[in-house]
Amino acid sequence: MSVSEQLKILCVKLDISVSELARLLGKSPQAFSQKMKRESFTVDELKKVAEAAGCKYEGSFIMPSGERVTY
């Protein structure tokens, strides 16, 4: 699943529009939409999205041993 799809699902679950999420981040809906089309989010940006949405973003690789490599 792409990041953009995840963000759309997040918006549905939060009962907000993607445009509203963009505004929470201080971005224009047009710029945010373009970023979603390009799939060009950094980990730091995703953490900011989560913070603005009142959520927690957790990105990590889980090794076969169970050890996590987080970023």
pTM: 0.84
Fold of 3-70: 434 Repressor (Amino-terminal Domain) (1.10.260)
**Amino acid at site 66:** G
Return the pLDDT at 70.
Answer: 81
Nearest CA to 52 out of 30, 32, 22 is that of: 22
Domain regions of the chain by residue span? 3-70
Residues 31/17, Cβ–Cβ less than 8 Å: no
Task: Give dist(CA 11, CA 23) in Å, integer.
Answer: 13
Per-residue pLDDT of the chain (71 residues; tens, 9 = 90+): 899 999 999 999 999 999 999 999 999 999 999 999 999 999 999 999 999 999 999 888 899 999 989 86
CB 41 within 8 A of CB 6: no
pLDDT at residue 60, as a whole number: 85
